[in-house]
Amino acid sequence: MSELTQLGVQAIRDGVAGGTFTAREVAEACNAAVADAATLNAFIVTTPDHALAAADQVDADRAAGRPLGLMAGVPIGMKDLFATRGVQTTAASHILEGFTPQYESTVSQRLWDAGAGMLGKLNLDQFAMGSSNETSHFGDVVSPWRRSGSTAGLTPGGSSGGSSAAVAARLAPAATGTDTGGSIRQPAALTGICGIKPTYGRCSRWGIVAFASSLDQAGPMARNVTDCALMLQAMGGFDPKDSTSLDLPVPDWSGALDANLAGKRVGIPREYRMDGTDAAILKAWDDGIGWLKDAGAEVVDISLPHTEYALPAYYIIAPAEASSNLARYDGVRYGLRDLPQGANLQDMYAATRAAGFGDEVKRRILIGTYVLSAGYYDAYYTQAMKVRALVARDFAEAWDKCDVILAPTAPTAAFALGEKLSDPLAMYLGDVFSVPASLAGLPAMSVPAGLDGAGLPLGLQLIGRPLDEQGVLNAALAIEQRAGFTAQPDRWW
Amino acid sequence: MSVDKATVAKIASLARLRMDDAALDRMVPELNQILGFVEQLGQVDVTGVEPMTAVIAQSLRLRDDVVDADPLTGGGVRDAVLANAPAAEHGFFGVPKVIE
């Protein structure tokens, strides 16, 4: 049944609906692939029974002639940042180890309602803070990809590194991700898969462990553009339980996919041609420009003058919001408690948080606390919020000249595990191309463009106007059809 | 601006993170490297720019004034609320003594 693990979301759904195979056969094949891939450490917990139960329900619905959902029979991986009722939810942290939610996140509930099942909870950077999946309390995720002729362990990207590794390794046809500064797009690029972060507010944040609330957005990660469109339709939609949820209908993105870009203008931001970007990435970018022209688009040069300031603004705003959001982990209501002998309440808070948070999380809490503290608030935090407004204004002005923007997703292909871990700032610089769209709340997607000289995948990023996921998906589809990306990692695990 | 060890100790105390001397010594240069990087924001002319608080203009909704309209976020779920507490006693969260 191993060929079933090669199928994507749409192929599985249509195969189940048409009776080519059963949902149970798909779930069993994926469960087996997950069980055989423990070496990758992509999952924190596996939930084979959840996948089987959902599959059996779909098979029973089909037999009874009941209507099937958008994701009927599709087993997926769930990033361990989404609260799942009765299944441990940790955000890859020690402080939430053993936490068993009594409720289900809106996004995961919508996926189950659409007929999907859960293979397990996927590893990630702790509290989604990281770009390499090396800050997890449960160990690094290892990419299924390796450089030609090498056995060195590579990063699957982060923070959605378990998601990207599982989808690239054909353990799951798709997985959920969340993106605060690039955590869907960068891991997708590094593992040769697709991932879209929708417009801020499309997907409910209710039941997602909060990192930086003004930036966090959920989105799908899958192996082709159509599958991403389908899954995003299942995930998105208005939720009164999230005060920033957009009260708008969910468009039929998959049904409206159209790779003919005649009449569309594609902007190429000149500020994204930065020193330190791999030559292979620049070549892929040029290829992408050619493909979009071939699809009928007009290519125009644009300027996003505040690009270089997006990253420093992000590394003030995101830690500031994180320091506030993570104040809830106090050893009282849920999660870890460290109560030294004779400790008072304040000592207990400090001991619990020292024991429960990893180094990167502590760094960001400290930075965030500092930039929000009296005397520094205006110099750092208010200034960053003003720069954020300028970054967003750059995009707003660019939409006068173009309909969608094409750029690299990340400045390099996958790097080795351990390579950047000792230098937090070097790790932050890897987010340079993904952070600006996050600050502006725009829909953005990564799509595979090809392989570099070492045989590692490279991604291209499409950024769209607010609410124009369709334009992003259409341009990504045009690239997908022309890039002919069929490479997948050789199985070594 | 850069931070010294005493400042980091103060921030750690505000953030309720217990840090020993070795941890503080390790953290000081790391924080200064990051603060040095974000310092460049000071070069940006932000005259007349309002701080951005929301990426999409939205007005705050009011829910209907109905008790437990949404059972998931309503009341009457004490046991579920306490289910993950490290110390729950008699229907309350347990904490160390706070009154001397």
What is the chain B residue with the closest CA to A242?
A: B61
pLDDT of A1 over the 60 cut: no
Cα separation of A180 and A10, whole Å? 27
Average pLDDT, chain A: 97
pLDDT of A75 reads 98
Residue with tokens 């690009």: A307
* Minimum-distance CB partner of A312 among B40, B61, B87: B40
Residue with tokens 């500031």: A320
pLDDT of B100 reads 63
Cα separation of A289 and A5, whole Å? 33
Cβ(A469)–Cβ(A253) under 8 Å? yes
pLDDT of A2 reads 63
* Minimum-distance CB partner of A312 among B41, B81, B87: B41
| A412 found inside a domain | no
- Active site includes A79? yes
Cβ(A407)–Cβ(B15) under 8 Å? no
pLDDT of B1 over the 80 cut: no
Residue A459, helix vs strand vs coil: strand
- Of A50, A231, A77, A280, the closest CA to residue A164 belongs to A77
Cα separation of A220 and A97, whole Å? 25
pLDDT of B63 reads 81
For residue A317, the number of C-alpha atoms closer than 13 Å in the C-beta half-sphere is: 31
Q: Which of A279-283, A451-455, B61-65 has the least mean pLDDT?
A: B61-65
Residue A59, helix vs strand vs coil: helix
Please check whether residue B53 touches A, CB under 8 A: yes
Q: Count CB pairs under 8 A between chains A and B.
A: 174
| A315 found inside a domain | no
CATH number, domain containing residue A162: 3.90.1300.10
Minimal CA separation from B51 to chain A, in Å: 4
pLDDT digits (tens, 9 = 90+) for A419-434: 988 888 888 889 999 9
pLDDT of A156 over the 80 cut: yes
* Minimum-distance CB partner of A309 among B44, B63, B87: B44
Residues in chain A: 493
Between CA A128 and CA A254, with CA A409 as vertex, the angle to 5 degrees is: 85
| A322 found inside a domain | no
pLDDT digits (tens, 9 = 90+) for A405-418: 999 999 999 999 99
pLDDT of A337 reads 97
Minimal CA separation from A80 to chain B, in Å: 17
Q: Which of A163, A183, A204, A323 is catalytic?
A: A183
The count of structural domains within chain A is: 1
pTM of the complete model: 0.97
CA distances from A369 to A157, A321, B16 (A): 27, 9, 10
| A77 found inside a domain | yes
pLDDT digits (tens, 9 = 90+) for A310-361: 999 999 999 999 999 999 999 999 999 999 999 999 999 999 999 999 999 9
> In this complex, do B86 and A441 lie within 8 Å of one another by their Cβ atoms?
no
Cα separation of A488 and A26, whole Å? 20
> In this complex, do A354 and B37 lie within 8 Å of one another by their Cβ atoms?
no
| A90 found inside a domain | yes
Q: Which residues pair with B75 in a beta bridge?
A: none
pLDDT of A274 reads 85
pLDDT digits (tens, 9 = 90+) for B25-45: 999 999 999 999 999 999 999
- Active site includes A160? no
| A309 found inside a domain | no
| Phi, psi angles (nearest 5°) of residue A277 | -85, 135
CA distances from A251 to A135, A466, B71 (A): 36, 14, 28
What is the chain B residue with the closest CA to A311?
A: B38
> In this complex, do B56 and A332 lie within 8 Å of one another by their Cβ atoms?
no
- Active site includes A183? yes
Domains in chain B with CATH codes: 5-43 (1.10.20)
Mean pLDDT of A118-146: 97
- Of A104, A392, A231, A282, the closest CA to residue B71 belongs to A104
> In this complex, do B11 and A373 lie within 8 Å of one another by their Cβ atoms?
yes
What is the chain A residue with the closest CA to B87?
A: A332
pLDDT of A440 reads 98
Query: Using CB atoms and an 8 Å cut-off, which of residues 18-47 of chain B contact chain A?
Result: 18-19, 27, 30-31, 33-35, 37-42, 44, 46
pLDDT of B72 over the 80 cut: no
Determine the structural domain holding residue A15 and report its residue range: 2-260
3-state helix/strand/coil string of B32-65 = HHHHHHHHHHHHCCCCCCCCCCCCCCCCCCCCCC
pLDDT of A130 reads 95
Minimal CA separation from A103 to chain B, in Å: 7
At B58, the pLDDT band (50, 70, 90 cuts) reads: confident
Q: Over pLDDT 70: what percentage of chain A?
A: 100
Minimal CA separation from B18 to chain A, in Å: 5
| A256 found inside a domain | yes
Contacts of A14 (CB under 8 A, 6+ apart): none
| A486 found inside a domain | no
Residue A164 buriedness (CB in 10 A; 0-12 / 13-18 / 19+): buried
